Structure 1
Amino acid sequence: MKVTLIGAGSREFAGKIVRDLLLSEPIAEKGLEIVLMDIAVEPLAQMEMYTRQLIERLDHAATVSATTDLNDAVAGAAFVVTAIEVDRYHYWSQDFTIPRKYGFKQVYGENGGPGGLFHALRQFGPLLEIASAIEAHAPEALFLNFSNPEHKVCEAISRLTSVKVVGLCHGYFYGVRQISALLDIPSDQLELPAAGINHFTWFQAVRDKSTGEDLYPRLRELEHEANWVSDWHEIGLSRILFRRFGLWPSPSANHIGEYISWADDYVPAQLQYFNDPGDGSPWRQGASTPEWHYHIGLADTDRPFHAPRPSGALEDQPLEASEELAIPIIEWVACGVERPLPAVNIPNRGAIPGLPDDMVVEVPARAENGTLVPLSMEALPEGIFAMVRLQGSIHKLLVEAYVERSKAKLLQAILLDPIVDNHNRAVAMLDEFLELQKDALPPLT
């Protein structure tokens, strides 16, 4: 069974998926061929060496090869697993920073907000190229995508190609851990169905698995009693949303806040790409891209003044399975081993009542005949539904802007975004993005 990893030069992504693949007994029984593909030759060679060492250490029968040729990599594959970015931190620093420069209170810049729109436009071309290669050389393959912005890129692929694409993210599990901690109940004892879009999903029920007891009343009681500053960076915004809209959201404040106009009051210390504007543009010729930090609570502020940022070696990573859902999907589709799939990104097809069928949503799913099928969910409360439905319109306009090469459609998508509150500044922001990122964006007229 051939499994192809595209973006295999990524230490975090590829290392995690390789470990997960090699630790799966059902997959081992199928006879595993791992193909690593990347356009970055040196990191690709390092990942191939690491994979060979793991195979030897585990006394595994798997084979591994590496290539920079996309068509060869996907030909005959049963599964194609992808996580790619083009100059990730350089462009992300612009996605995160430029909207704030124009007065838009964007708390993050990865999946939502104006920054998320440009992030998606840069990703559409490379990911659609991969999808086209799968159409031509592995039409039955299941495309498991980890590349962000998850819902936007999966919507482009599902609308514009015939490829069976599934978007995967571990954000759901952040919310699971938050609810588990507040209730002081182990997560494996909880039933937590959730629905929404990636990085903006909502737990429709909180139940005791063994008794079926509704634990939402207890969660509300404990949340009201909890210390406000506890884990503030992660759940301060989640707690306010829970109080106002009635369901617990996931994954964490900065991701959720991308979709909300007033989130900045609850997502403090926007350190992520700090730079001193007095030093000049961080993207000028010869300048270094500012360091990225998820949030200030995770920044290594105890680092000595002149020490470089530490990086962990692949060999130091623990040999244990992750919580990512790629391998459970492969085990179910290819090996017939049913696994919980609580959060996958696929076209709605009626799963969330009232949302368009072709809108990509994040819902639980099951495998049927080699395809993932969304489970039917309850209707979202009106306030939550309105926020999610708006994002569906933004995504549709964005895909149309890409296909039509339309600057006007892109501007429509920007003006619909909840944090954009001024037309003239939006136009100026759009023009700066198009100039700064012209080498990575599709040409728009």
Structure 2
Amino acid sequence: MKVTLIGAGSREFAGTIIRDLLLSGPIAEKGLDIVLMDIAAGPLAEMEEYARSVIGQLGHAATVSSTTDLDTAVTGADFVVTAIEVNRYHYWSQDFTVPRKYGFRQVYGENGGPGGLFHALRQFGPLLEIARAIERLAPDALFINFSNPEHKVCEAITRLTNVKVVGLCHGYFQGARQVSALLERPLDELDLAAAGINHFTWFQRIRDRATGEDLYPELREREHAANWVSDWHEVGLSRILFRRFGLWPSPSANHIGEYLSWADDYVPAQLQYFHDPADGSPWREGAETPEWYYEIRFADTDRPYQPAKHAQKSLQDALADRPLVSSEELAIPIIEWVACGVERDLPAVNVPNRGAIPGLPDDMVVEVAATVEDGRLVPVPVEPLPEAVFAMVRLQGSIHKLLVEAYAEESKAKLLQAVLLDPVVDNHNRAVAMVDELLELQKDILPPLH
């Protein structure tokens, strides 16, 4: 079985998937050929060396090779696993900063909001290039995508190619751990089901796995009694949404808030990509990209004024202390079920709706649980979402569709329509100016739009 990893120069992504692949018994029984692909030859060679070291430690029979050529990597693959970005934080800092400059209070700018739209437009080209290579050279392969913005890029691939694609993210597990913590019950004792779109899912079922008891009444009592400050940066917004709309959302404030017009009160952003504009553009040649934080609480404000500079660790040193244990990522469970027939729990995958969430378009990419039938992923049908939640999710479906059409038709008009539908955008003229500035800033990497 040939499994290709694209973006394999990434220490975090490739290291995790390599360990997960090599720790799978069912996959080992099938025989495993790992092909690593990246356009950066140096990190790619390091990752091949790491894969060989793990194979040696485990006494595994797998083979591994690497290449910088996409066609070579994809040809004959059974599974293609991808996580790619181009100059991630440089462009993300623009996605975050420019809309806020025009008064649009987006809170993160990665997957939703105006910044998420431009992020997606940059990602469409490279990911569609991979998908079209799969169409030509491995038409039966399953494309497993970890690249953000997950729902938008998967929708582009499903609408514009015939490739079988599934998007994966561990956001569901973050929300599940929050529920477990509030209930003070071990996660493996909970029966959970969530539905929505990536980074904006809602738990429709929270039950005791053993007895079937509905635990939502207990969750409401515990949430109302909980201290407001506890874990506020992660769940403060989730608690308000839970109180207003009746379901617990996932994964965390910074991600959920990307789809709301009023989330700015719950996601402090003062230090996110902070810079002094009087010093000049932070994106001028030679300038250092301002710093990013997953949440503001992780900003190291106790650091020295002049911190010492340390050389980056080698790959072997960086990964040496990583234990050889499986992660919670769902790529390998999917491969085990599709290729090996071993049933696994797949609580959150991004696939076309196909009736899973009532009322949403069949071709809209949603995040729901899935099973495998005849070697294909099939979304598990869920109960209708509450009207208010449904309305928020449905709006994003329209935005995604318009964005894919903007890319396919090279249409600036369709892009503007998508931007003007976004909940944080409240002014037409400023929206037009923002789009023009981002199109100019990122013209070397964006698709042509007329």
Alignment of 1:71-220 (within 5 A): 71-220=71-220
Residues 228, 236 of structure 2: 8 Å contact kept: yes
The 3-state SS of whatever aligns with 2:4 is strand
The amino acid that maps onto 1:186 is P
Residues 309 and 113 of structure 1, relative CA distance in 2, 3 Å threshold = farther
Instruction: Return the alpha-carbon distance in structure 2 between the equivalents of residues 35 and 267 of structure 1.
Output: 40
- Please report how far the alpha carbon of residue 302 of structure 1 lies from its aligned counterpart in structure 2 after TM superposition: 3.3
Moved more, 299-308 or 431-440: 299-308
- Please report how far the alpha carbon of residue 311 of structure 1 lies from its aligned counterpart in structure 2 after TM superposition: 6.0
The 3-state SS of whatever aligns with 1:207 is strand
The amino acid that maps onto 2:234 is E
Q: Which residue of 2 aligns with 1:328?
A: 333
The number of residue pairs the alignment matches comes to 445
Q: Which residue of 2 aligns with 1:255?
A: 255
Q: Which residue of 2 aligns with 1:268?
A: 268
What are the superposed Cα offsets for residues 323-356 of structure 1, whole Å, 9 maximum, x if unpaired? Answer: 1000000010111110000000000000000000
The amino acid that maps onto 2:201 is T
Residues 324 and 270 of structure 1, relative CA distance in 2, 3 Å threshold = farther
Instruction: Return the alpha-carbon distance in structure 2 between the equivalents of residues 169 and 191 of structure 1.
Output: 19
The alignment status of 1:307 with 2:312, answered yes or no, reads no
- Please report how far the alpha carbon of residue 276 of structure 1 lies from its aligned counterpart in structure 2 after TM superposition: 1.6
Q: Which residue of 2 aligns with 1:428?
A: 433
Q: TM-score, normalised by structure 2?
A: 0.97
Q: Which residue of 1 aligns with 2:377?
A: 372
Residues 70, 133 of structure 1: 8 Å contact kept: yes
Instruction: Return the alpha-carbon distance in structure 1 between the equivalents of residues 447 and 187 of structure 2.
Output: 44
Residues 325 and 33 of structure 1, relative CA distance in 2, 3 Å threshold = same
Once the two structures are aligned, what percentage of the paired residues are identical?
80
Instruction: Return the alpha-carbon distance in structure 1 between the equivalents of residues 28 and 110 of structure 2.
Output: 35
The alignment status of 1:64 with 2:25, answered yes or no, reads no
The amino acid that maps onto 2:69 is D
Residues 70, 133 of structure 2: 8 Å contact kept: yes
Q: Which residue of 2 aligns with 1:318?
A: 323
The amino acid that maps onto 1:345 is N
Q: Which residue of 1 aligns with 2:25?
A: 25
Alignment of 1:213-252 (within 5 A): 213-252=213-252
Instruction: Return the alpha-carbon distance in structure 1 between the equivalents of residues 360 and 335 of structure 2.
Output: 28
Moved more, 370-379 or 310-319: 310-319
- Please report how far the alpha carbon of residue 205 of structure 1 lies from its aligned counterpart in structure 2 after TM superposition: 1.3
Instruction: Return the alpha-carbon distance in structure 2 between the equivalents of residues 326 and 217 of structure 1.
Output: 34
Among residues 332, 353, 358, which one is paired with 1:348 in the alignment? 353
The alignment status of 1:400 with 2:405, answered yes or no, reads yes
Residues 270, 295 of structure 1: 8 Å contact kept: no
Residues 107, 269 of structure 2: 8 Å contact kept: no
The alignment status of 1:383 with 2:384, answered yes or no, reads no
What are the superposed Cα offsets for residues 32-75 of structure 1, whole Å, 9 maximum, x if unpaired? Answer: 10000000010101101111111111111111000001011011
Instruction: Return the alpha-carbon distance in structure 2 between the equivalents of residues 206 and 310 of structure 1.
Output: 47
Instruction: Return the alpha-carbon distance in structure 1 between the equivalents of residues 208 and 401 of structure 2.
Output: 38
The 3-state SS of whatever aligns with 2:205 is coil
The 3-state SS of whatever aligns with 2:372 is strand
The 3-state SS of whatever aligns with 2:271 is coil
Point out where structure 1 has 5 or more consecutive residues left out of the alignment: none
What are the superposed Cα offsets for residues 111-135 of structure 1, whole Å, 9 maximum, x if unpaired? Answer: 0000000000000000000000000
Instruction: Return the alpha-carbon distance in structure 1 between the equivalents of residues 37 and 387 of structure 2.
Output: 44
Residues 69 and 104 of structure 1, relative CA distance in 2, 3 Å threshold = same
The 3-state SS of whatever aligns with 1:196 is strand
Q: Which residue of 1 aligns with 2:55?
A: 55
- Please report how far the alpha carbon of residue 309 of structure 1 lies from its aligned counterpart in structure 2 after TM superposition: 7.4
Residues 320 and 311 of structure 1, relative CA distance in 2, 3 Å threshold = farther
Residues 155, 347 of structure 1: 8 Å contact kept: yes
Instruction: Return the alpha-carbon distance in structure 1 between the equivalents of residues 311 and 43 of structure 2.
Output: 18
The alignment status of 1:442 with 2:447, answered yes or no, reads yes
Residues 65 and 426 of structure 1, relative CA distance in 2, 3 Å threshold = same
Instruction: Return the alpha-carbon distance in structure 2 between the equivalents of residues 378 and 110 of structure 1.
Output: 29
Residues 110, 116 of structure 2: 8 Å contact kept: yes
Instruction: Return the alpha-carbon distance in structure 1 between the equivalents of residues 117 and 279 of structure 2.
Output: 28
Instruction: Return the alpha-carbon distance in structure 2 between the equivalents of residues 283 and 322 of structure 1.
Output: 36
Q: TM-score, normalised by structure 1?
A: 0.99
The amino acid that maps onto 1:285 is E
Point out where structure 2 has 5 or more consecutive residues left out of the alignment: none
Instruction: Return the alpha-carbon distance in structure 1 between the equivalents of residues 57 and 275 of structure 2.
Output: 44
Moved more, 318-327 or 409-418: 318-327
Instruction: Return the alpha-carbon distance in structure 2 between the equivalents of residues 207 and 136 of structure 1.
Output: 45
Instruction: Return the alpha-carbon distance in structure 1 between the equivalents of residues 393 and 73 of structure 2.
Output: 36
Residues 50, 315 of structure 1: 8 Å contact kept: no
The amino acid that maps onto 2:76 is G
Residues 198, 345 of structure 1: 8 Å contact kept: yes
The 3-state SS of whatever aligns with 2:71 is helix
The amino acid that maps onto 2:208 is D
Q: Which residue of 1 aligns with 2:365?
A: 360
Instruction: Return the alpha-carbon distance in structure 1 between the equivalents of residues 322 and 213 of structure 2.
Output: 39
Instruction: Return the alpha-carbon distance in structure 2 between the equivalents of residues 442 and 56 of structure 1.
Output: 44
Q: Which residue of 2 aligns with 1:40?
A: 40
Instruction: Return the alpha-carbon distance in structure 1 between the equivalents of residues 445 and 200 of structure 2.
Output: 27
Instruction: Return the alpha-carbon distance in structure 2 between the equivalents of residues 164 and 19 of structure 1.
Output: 24
The 3-state SS of whatever aligns with 2:320 is helix
The 3-state SS of whatever aligns with 1:204 is strand
- Please report how far the alpha carbon of residue 273 of structure 1 lies from its aligned counterpart in structure 2 after TM superposition: 1.2
